[in-house]
Amino acid sequence: MKDTKQKWFKDAKYGLFIHWGLYSILAGEYKGIKTDRIAEWIENDLNIPVEEYRKLAEQFNPTGFNADDFVKRAKEQWGMKYIVLTAKHHEGFAMYDSKVSDFNVVKATPYGKDILKELQLACEKYDVKMGFYYSQAQDWDDPNGYMHRKDNSGKDFQKYLDEKCKPQIKELLENYGDICLIWFDTPMGITVAQTQELIDLVKSIQPNCLLSGRTGNHMGDYMTTGDNFIPRLPYEGDWEIPATVNDTWGFNKFDTNWKKQDDIISRLLKIVSRGGNYLLNVGPTAEGTVPEKCVEVLDEVGKYVTENSEAIFGTRPLGVYAYEIPGIELTGRAHKLYVHVLSPRTRIELLNIGNELKGAYVLSTGEQLEYSTLKCCEGDGMIEVELPEKLRSQKNFCVCLELIEEEPIFEAIKG
């Protein structure tokens, strides 16, 4: 069990991941060959020479990027509480003004602006937590950085760690305000001692900065699941799921397999009910904009999130006895059970509930609803909430059940 002991992380529930780098220029294709893997790994998977890949920086000019609009939309329209940008992905290119390596967005591109700094200022303006992704072990640009599915036997990884990785982390922590978390990834062959070096460095500069579950050697501050993986049961402690809206992370012009908003809403609620955070990714284009279809999906999800924020943010896990009901997801807090109605129905029926109700209403409007309770067997009962005619053909709304205070829902759900 990992406990961050940080209330903001426990309450946040929904964050925005941004995978953005030079790979957005290739957009899934190199010299007419399409990658059959995730787009941001194209340099590694298609064996692009480092010297050739570096030249992509000369084309990187995302004039369509507006950090202020980006963060404002993430908070006000999408309902997200924190943002994590790829400050340096496996390609080794820094999306900020690094003094350690000139292979960065300010010194190597015609854009010439510090994207992370722009994002930091916008996050501070709109009171959104900001973190960054940093590839601590893989660096395909550095001769001593690890590479997946390649021979790393002759590399001096400690040299890379001392001369690039740790100095860059230091400048990121010292120059970009309060960092809520560092999303380390793919630790590969990093040793326990080397992982501890990174942890000690981070905590010496920003003690409250969290480290992802992929820091290495099970030494992060919280558990990070596999990509797009939702645990079947609640996981004790603090945890987070990194997930995509389509099938890749970085922009891929061929990947149009966008998830439906209903599916994302359902996934968000499953994660929240089990006590986790949902870090949902967008992959901006080389111009710095999010694909239109992706925006449409997140806008629709955002409507549900903002209208029903009380039933999402700051809620508690329901416990290992929470059960699944087709078309229904449950979230809760002390003395309130939120019933998320995701498919049309005439009434809500909940079995094996030991609580007594004192009220039921539509969360977004406050409209009171008729309800009844029935004891089915010893200690257990059934709750029925009748839905008005106008709601019976609707989906994606939330009903709040107010419970007798002496019987917290977290002790009473059985099944």
> What is the three-state SS of 297-327?
HHHHHHHHHHHCHHHCCCCECCCCCCCCECC
C-alpha to C-alpha distance for 266 and 149, rounded to whole angstroms: 35
301/338 same-domain check: no
Q: Is the pLDDT of residue 411 over 60?
A: no
Q: Do 58 and 181 share a domain, yes or no?
A: yes
- At 87, phi and psi to the nearest 5? -65, -35
Confidence of residue 407 (pLDDT cuts 50, 70, 90): low
Residues 201 and 169 in one domain: yes
267 and 374 share a domain? no
pLDDT tens per residue, range 357-393: 899 999 999 999 999 987 765 556 788 999 999 999 9
Count up the domains in the chain and report the number. 2
Q: What is the CATH number of the domain that holds 148?
A: 3.20.20.80
The residue among 311, 338, 355 that closes a domain is 311
Residues 94 and 179 in one domain: yes
Residue 138 lies in a domain: yes
Same domain as 343, residue 268: no
Q: For 242-287, write each residue's pLDDT tens digit.
A: 999 999 999 999 999 999 999 999 999 999 999 999 999 999 999 9
CA distance 173 to 182: 9
CA-nearest of 276, 111, 294, 137 to 217 is: 137
Mean pLDDT of the chain: 94
CATH code, domain carrying 391: 2.60.40.1180
What is the predicted pLDDT for the residue at 236? 85
Of 182, 239, 238, the C-alpha closest to 205 is: 182
- The pLDDT value recorded for residue 379 is 54
Q: Which of 253, 279, 311 is the last residue of a domain?
A: 311
Question: What confidence score (pLDDT) does residue 211 get?
Answer: 98
Query: Are 340 and 300 within one domain?
Result: no
**Which tens digits make up the pLDDT trace of 144-191?**
999 999 999 999 999 999 999 999 999 999 999 999 999 999 999 999
What confidence tier does 415 reach under pLDDT thresholds 50, 70, 90? Answer: very low
The residue out of 278, 311, 344 marking a domain boundary is 311
Q: In the numeric block, which tokens belong to residue 129?
A: 């937590």
pLDDT digits 0-9 by tens, 181-226: 999 999 999 999 999 999 999 999 999 999 999 999 999 999 999 9
363 and 230 housed in the same domain: no
Q: Quote the distance between the C-alpha of residue 76 and its chain's center.
A: 17
Q: Do 395 and 298 belong together in one domain?
A: no
Does 232 lie in the same domain as 186? yes
- Say what the pTM is: 0.96
Picking from 85, 99, 189, the residue whose alpha carbon sits closest to that of residue 137 is: 189
Please state, for a pLDDT cut of 90, what percent of the chain lies above it.
88
> Does the pLDDT value for residue 395 go beyond 60?
yes
Q: pLDDT tens digits, residue range 97-117?
A: 999 999 999 999 999 999 999
Same domain, 171 and 47: yes
Whether 399 contacts 360, CB under 8 Å:
yes
Spatial strand order of the sheet with 210-211 comes to 210-211, 181-184, 129-134, 82-88, 14-18, 277-282, 239-244, 223-224
∠ Cα 13 305 223 (to 5°): 15
Structural domain of 406: 328-412
Amino acid of residue 240: E
**86 and 220 share one domain:** yes
Which range (44-48, 63-67, 322-326) has the least confidence? 322-326
What's residue 322's pLDDT? 55
pLDDT tens by residue, 116-157: 999 999 999 999 999 999 999 999 999 999 999 999 999 999
Query: What pLDDT is attached to residue 320?
Result: 52
